[in-house]
Amino acid sequence: MAEANVGWGAPRIHGELLKLGIEVSERTVSRLIPKRSTAPSQTWRTFLDNHVRDLVSIDFFTVPTARLRVLFVFIVLSHERRRVVHFNVTEHPTAAWTAQQIVEAFPEDLTRVRGGHKQSNPR
């Protein structure tokens, strides 16, 4: 019954056996159900190796200057080649400025960000 109905667990099989007049405990049913072997999932390392060309790191940090000013640095690093994709520095970061840095870092991906198609310019 378990092999023919792979989605059924011990409680369901137990209930069906009771309907057939077979009195057995649910625990016995669960012990007798063959254990299903699941395919092993990939490891974290395998996932990273498979997707390294698509991975980037983005960091935002501050740098104090000799004149006691604070500069904000935005940097994007590619994991595939371990290189700097984009960086910029400002004294006064805003949400709009940060969003613009992401647009500048990934200009070829704009169609993906906007839903997979280019948006027309309404007049």
Q: Domain residues of the chain, as ranges?
A: 9-35, 55-110
| pTM greater than 0.95 (yes/no) | no
Give pLDDT tens digits along the chain (123 positions).
Answer: 888 888 898 999 999 999 999 999 999 999 998 887 777 788 889 988 899 988 999 999 999 999 999 999 999 999 888 899 999 999 999 999 999 999 999 888 655 544 444 444 444
Q: Which of 109, 59, 104 has the alpha carbon at shortest distance from 79?
A: 59
Q: Which tokens hold the place of 51?
A: 């997707």
